[in-house]
A and B are shown apart, each in its own frame.
Chain A
Amino acid sequence: MKTMQTKKTLRSLWAIMYYLGFTPMVRNPLFMAFVFSTPFTLLFILFVASNGTALPYGLAGALTMITTELGLFVGTDLASYKLQNRFQDIVVASPVSPLIYMFGVALSELIFGSPALLILFGLIAEQGATFGALVSCLGVVMLLWVTATSLGFFFSAYAPNTQNAFIINGFITTMLSVLPPVYYSVKVLPVWLAPLAEVIPTTEASALFQGAIGLGYSVEPVYGFAVLLAATFVMLLLVSFKMKWRES
């Protein structure tokens, strides 16, 4: 009975990932190019403008930005499934639990972003990163993904319509992963500005990437992890107030 239920739950999760993540990716690979053009463009600009010396910063930045985008897209996905095509209504009146649904949508974005992430990891490895460094990077990706996804949940819960969700998404992406020290080191900021930047989770994620790929840790790793975890916690807390599986 118990295993039967677990089996069904896994089937639900798989179905959501397969049809909302994998299928769109395979059917429309060009879409990935559109979505991930900005981080790769920034990476390219940094690379050519610095004669290659800033490439590691570009890689840390692109990794941070793509992972952030993946999380935020969960927000626009959820908003459109709820507000536009009413898929969420179909899911609510079904055996699929809210947790499985949200997890499924989040994983489907991760699947969608996995080719871009693979390319970046390939580039990092190509730069001579050790196996340990790659594993650290993977850990930071997972942690940032959780943080960014909770941010996505947060924005979906507050989005009044899909147009808004998309516009806000673009703005937040820039504010979180282009403006702060994501593609550069927090050390180059004026001293009065640095503390402000250091509470932004993407700054910490990028600093952790930078440290892992041998650029030196500009912040204490423990502090970085703490900021990411705290941001995740706060976002999920806010989401739990606002996001309701059943409307009132």
Chain B
Amino acid sequence: MKALEAQQLSKTYRKAKAPALDSLDLEIESGQIFTMLGRNGAGKTTFLRIASTQLLPTSGSVTVLGLDAVKEAKELRRRIAIAPQEAETIYPLTPRDHVLLSLRMRGVEKHEADRRAKLALEDLELAEVADTNSDWLSGGLKQRVIVAMVVRTDADLVFLDEPTIGLDPVNRRKVWEQLTRLKKAGKTIVLTTHYMDEAEALSDNLVIINKGKVMAAGTPQSVKAAVTNRSTRVDVMDRFSKSELAEYGHVVAIAGKLRVLTDADGARRLGDEAVARNATIAIAPVTLDDVFVDIVGEAEKDEDDAD
């Protein structure tokens, strides 16, 4: 079953020259973790805001949990929750207050809300600071408070806009655990992130968007595979110029080294040549990071800058 379906969804903000979403089509399966990737300004937040009934599209449609996000917003709102990008804690409430406010305004009865708040605070390692004024918390703790507000609601679909921003690696994994737990409970998660490892580790499906358009969609594996002839990356530390490498594949300059995205055969040939030249290279499968940069990055420009 589809949890979300967008058809020809477009959004042009008032006074904006270019559309933020440009005839976007996408589908999200129910009970999955779905991730949206894209550069700053690609349109991720715009999409989440339209699907979560905050913002009206200019044209096209979104159906969420079988309900039209524009025409059936009222019914839909009972079944969704969002952790918005750049949400901030409210003075002078504590983390526990935030979670209780979120649960009780959604209609959860007091004792049940208390029980769930305790769990949510434990889930995100906020138990120790549960009754501290949120203003005194560090940035990452505040961010976890926002996430804690949505992990124990009754919503069937939860939107999280960059939930792990500013979190240390340990706490990022705490959030991942929660998202996985929600998924196991049958809920659908729609996530945005700039961390490719996160997308790779968590997503059942993902989409890479650029300038409001879908550039690639599928499982992390299939998206990586879809970039033809670029299954392998070869990092070349020395003894090759950019133009010499061009014959082996697509060349990207990264922090002083040259990275060649190529297939197995190209890697083999380049490897032989590197041995002959006594050059230092490293060969590895491509990561989502490489694919992302390849698809939406200005690889050509970076290359020129490095020369």
State how many angstroms separate the Cβ of A205 from the closest Cβ of chain B: 31
- Over the window 3-39 of chain A, the binary record of Cβ atoms lying under 8 Å from chain B Cβ atoms (1 yes, 0 no) is 0000111011011101110011001100000000000
B77:A94 contact, CB within 8 angstroms: yes
At the interface, yes or no: B93 with Cβ under 8 Å from chain A? yes
Complex alpha-carbon distance, A9 and B107, angstroms: 7
Q: Which residues of A contact B85 (CB under 8 A)?
A: 86
A85:B87 contact, CB within 8 angstroms: yes
State how many angstroms separate the Cβ of B301 from the closest Cβ of chain A: 34
State how many angstroms separate the Cβ of B74 from the closest Cβ of chain A: 8
The chain A residues found within 8 Å of chain B, CB to CB, are 7-9, 11-12, 14-16, 18-20, 23-24, 27-28, 81, 84-87, 89-97, 246-248
Name B97's contact: one of A23, A28, A89 (CB within 8 Å). Answer: A23
Q: Tell me the count of chain B residues lying within 8 A, CB to CB, of chain A.
A: 38
- Over the window 101-116 of chain B, the binary record of Cβ atoms lying under 8 Å from chain A Cβ atoms (1 yes, 0 no) is 1101111110000000
Q: Which residues of A contact B90 (CB under 8 A)?
A: 20, 81, 85, 87
Complex alpha-carbon distance, A95 and B74, angstroms: 8
State how many angstroms separate the Cβ of A245 from the closest Cβ of chain B: 9
User: Given contacts A24-B92, A86-B84, A86-B86, are A15 and B55 in contact (CB under 8 A)?
Assistant: no
At the interface, yes or no: B159 with Cβ under 8 Å from chain A? yes
With both beta carbons as reference points, the residue of chain B lying nearest to A10 in the complex is identified as B107
A91:B73 contact, CB within 8 angstroms: no
Complex alpha-carbon distance, A14 and B104, angstroms: 8
Q: Which residues of A contact B104 (CB under 8 A)?
A: 11-12, 14-15, 18
The chain B residues found within 8 Å of chain A, CB to CB, are 14, 49, 52-56, 73-74, 77-78, 80-93, 97, 100-102, 104-109, 133, 149, 159
Name A84's contact: one of B53, B88, B100, B133 (CB within 8 Å). Answer: B88
Q: Which residues of B contact A89 (CB under 8 A)?
A: 49, 52, 54, 82, 84, 87
Complex alpha-carbon distance, A7 and B78, angstroms: 15
Complex alpha-carbon distance, A93 and B48, angstroms: 11
A12:B52 contact, CB within 8 angstroms: no
Q: Which residues of A contact B80 (CB under 8 A)?
A: 93-94
Kindly list 19 other residue pairs between chains A and B, CB separation below 8 angstroms, not including A11-B109, A247-B54: A8-B107, A12-B106, A15-B104, A19-B100, A20-B90, A20-B101, A23-B97, A85-B87, A85-B89, A86-B88, A89-B49, A89-B82, A89-B84, A90-B83, A90-B84, A93-B52, A93-B80, A94-B105, A95-B78
